[in-house]
Amino acid sequence: MICDKPECARFIAKKLWRFFAQDQPPEPVVEALAAEFHGHGMDLKHLMAVIFRSKEFYAPEVIRSQIKSPVQWLIAGTHQLQAPLPTQPMSLVMLRQLGQELFNPPNVKGWDGGIAWITTNSLLDRYNFAAALVEGDRVPLPGLMGQMKSVMNSMAEDGLMQISPANVSALFSPADLSNPYSFLAALQARFLNTELKPQRLASFNDFLKSRSPIEETDIRKAIRLIMCTPEYQLT
């Protein structure tokens, strides 16, 4: 009886578009998806195919319009650095500090997502954790109390809270590192799949223009900087 109601199709279509595409779905898109969903017997597989094949899904205003969740941020970062995920306890601490403790949402609705992922504290944590992933570092422990603090300190002493430095030189070819312009293009392709805004692009050019060939210390600093840009927080 619920699925027979057009409102049900609209509710589910809007939820899926918000999750996979953009936080503020255009009404015409929602209505079209709802009609398609309802007209095909509430077939979720069909609806997903329609979403992923629609031209609206690949519109410029949709691409890279969502803020990465902490899980997306961590997995994408390690993948782009061609590094393994941190140890399980370390990953749990990082995600908890970033605001997404796995399997423990704040309520039955789940995490709000979107802009709620970014706060003053969580953004600073993203910057600090980016440095840890690139440079190799010990992840700072949150303000834990009692037995949990004791367990985490014990893990830290056993080396389970330490991240090995990323092998950044292996991420770029000799041609990429031959001059600042090639390196900046390769850097954006690997970590952003888009271009930096003009002002930030100019800052990177200023930083790299006197460096040729590009040394490993330059690579590490550039990666850290790009992982701290607003563009990097989007997916």
Give pLDDT, residue 193: 85
Distance CA 226, CA 168 (A): 14
Amino acid identity for residue 90 in this structure:
M
Give me the residues paired with residue 102 across strands: none
Give pLDDT, residue 220: 96
Average pLDDT value for residue range 42-57? 96
Quick: pLDDT tens for 123-174: 999 999 999 999 987 665 555 544 455 555 666 555 566 788 999 999 999 9
Cβ–Cβ under 8 Å, residues 166 and 136: yes
Integer CA distances (angstroms), 172 to 111, 176, 191, 200, 217, in order: 36, 6, 12, 21, 14
The model's pTM = 0.84
pLDDT at residue 58 tops 50? yes
Integer CA distances (angstroms), 16 to 19, 39, 154, 178, 227, in order: 5, 17, 42, 44, 28
Cα-flanking dihedrals φ and ψ of residue 88, to 5°? -55, -50
pLDDT at residue 178 tops 50? yes
Amino acid identity for residue 10 in this structure:
R
Q: What average pLDDT does the structure give for the chain?
A: 90
Distance CA 223, CA 7 (A): 46
217 or 145, higher pLDDT: 217
pLDDT at residue 67 tops 80? yes
Cα-flanking dihedrals φ and ψ of residue 210, to 5°? -95, 5
